[in-house]
Structure formats: structure tokens, C-alpha cells
């Protein structure tokens, strides 16, 4: 078996830092959604909407786990303002989760060849993601536009650099031919 060494510049540690930062930011976005969930689906909510609350089995009582993602039996009891707010927080978080691999993997790959540009693009992604999340939480889907444009531009740049890095490190078409044939 051939042994291959990958040598990365000292700046690559900042790319790894950024990947961790994105993961933490994603988690914090979820925690914000959780804080709204706890405010909305609290003991008073259960007592008001489910008079049988005190007689409910243990699995129906609020205990920090909430099976309703905003479209279920519990959310049906929310007023329009509560429902809208809860689902905006949820959607901002879910969109981040849906796009997590789409940013972290190309960030790690692109950083091998384009450390400085990758780092700066990663910063633009994080800022765009925060603008997206705050806008969505505040105003719904119309509030996400500036953040979406910013993070989508950053993603396109990261994907381009990551694809180039793979192609270059794989020795281009000659490397692909050797791999296949």
C-alpha cells in the first residue's frame, strides 16, 4: 500500500476552527428554537388546552422533550402569533441543519488549497447565516433574503474551490483515467 502524506499550512488550523464555529453556531440556533418551544409549550399551555393534563400519562406531560415540531396536535392549540413565531424559529434552525454538510465539507477541502480565501469565505457564510436566521425569526421567509444571498454566494465560492482542489489533487483528467482504468 502506498503511503501518502498531506501537508497543510499553519493557517489550516483556522479552517478547522471555523468548521467548529459553524457547528457551534448551528447548535446555538437550535437552542434558540428550544427556548421558544419551552415558552410556548409550558405547564400553563397544557393546563389550558388539555384539561385532562393532570391525568395524562407520563409521556404526554412536558418534561423538556417536545414531540411536536410545529405542525402537530400541540401546535394546533397555538394562536396565530405563537404558531408563526415558533415555526419561524424552527425553520431557521432546520435550514441550518439541512445545509450543514453543504458548507463544512467544502470548507475543509477548499482550505487545503486556498486557506486565506476559504477562511474569509467561511466568515461571510457565518455572517450570512446569522442574518438569515435573525431575519427568518423576526419576519418569516421574507426576512431571510439578504442572509440567503450572502450565504449562497459563500457556498458557491466554497464549492468551486473544493471541486478545483479535488480535481487538482487528483491530478486532473489523467488522474481520473488512472483511477478508472
- Interior/surface letters 48-83, b for 16+ CB within 10 angstroms, e for the rest: eebeebeeeeeeeeeeeebebebeeebbebbeeebb
C-alpha cell at 26: 448551528
Give every CB contact of residue 129 below 8 A, 6+ residues apart in sequence. 22, 25, 96, 147, 151
DSSP state letter for 58: G
* Per-residue confidence in pLDDT tens, the chain, 181 aa: 566 677 788 899 999 999 999 999 999 999 998 888 888 888 788 778 877 666 655 555 555 556 677 777 788 888 999 999 989 999 999 999 999 999 999 999 999 999 999 999 999 999 999 999 999 999 999 999 999 999 999 999 999 999 999 999 899 999 999 999 9
Between CA 111 and CA 52 the distance in angstroms is 57
Give residue-wise pLDDT tens across range 153-181.
999 999 999 999 999 989 999 999 999 99
Domains identified in the chain and CATH numbers: 21-180 (1.20.120.550)
pTM of the model: 0.85
Between CA 12 and CA 169 the distance in angstroms is 16
Give residue-wise pLDDT tens across range 138-152.
999 999 999 999 999
Amino acid at each position: 500500500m502506498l503511503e501518502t502524506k498531506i501537508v497543510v499550512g499553519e493557517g489550516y488550523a483556522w479552517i478547522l476552527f471555523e468548521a467548529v464555529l459553524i457547528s457551534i453556531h448551528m447548535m446555538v440556533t437550535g437552542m434558540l428554537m428550544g427556548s421558544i418551544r419551552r415558552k410556548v409549550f409550558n405547564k400553563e399551555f397544557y393546563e389550558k388546552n388539555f384539561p385532562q393534563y393532570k391525568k395524562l400519562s407520563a409521556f404526554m406531560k412536558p418534561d423538556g422533550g417536545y414531540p411536536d415540531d410545529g405542525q402537530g396536535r400541540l401546535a394546533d392549540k397555538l394562536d396565530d402569533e405563537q404558531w408563526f413565531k415558533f415555526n419561524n424559529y424552527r425553520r431557521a434552525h432546520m435550514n441550518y441543519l439541512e445545509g450543514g454538510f453543504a458548507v463544512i465539507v467544502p470548507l475543509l477541502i477548499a482550505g487545503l488549497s486556498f486557506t486565506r480565501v476559504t477562511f474569509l469565505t467561511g466568515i461571510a457564510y457565518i455572517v450570512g447565516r446569522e442574518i438569515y436566521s435573525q431575519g427568518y425569526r423576526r419576519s418569516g421567509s421574507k426576512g431571510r433574503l439578504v442572509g440567503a444571498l450572502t450565504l449562497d454566494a459563500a457556498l458557491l465560492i466554497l464549492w468551486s474551490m473544493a471541486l478545483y482542489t479535488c480535481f487538482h489533487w487528483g491530478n486532473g483528467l489523467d488522474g481520473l483515467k488512472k483511477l478508472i482504468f
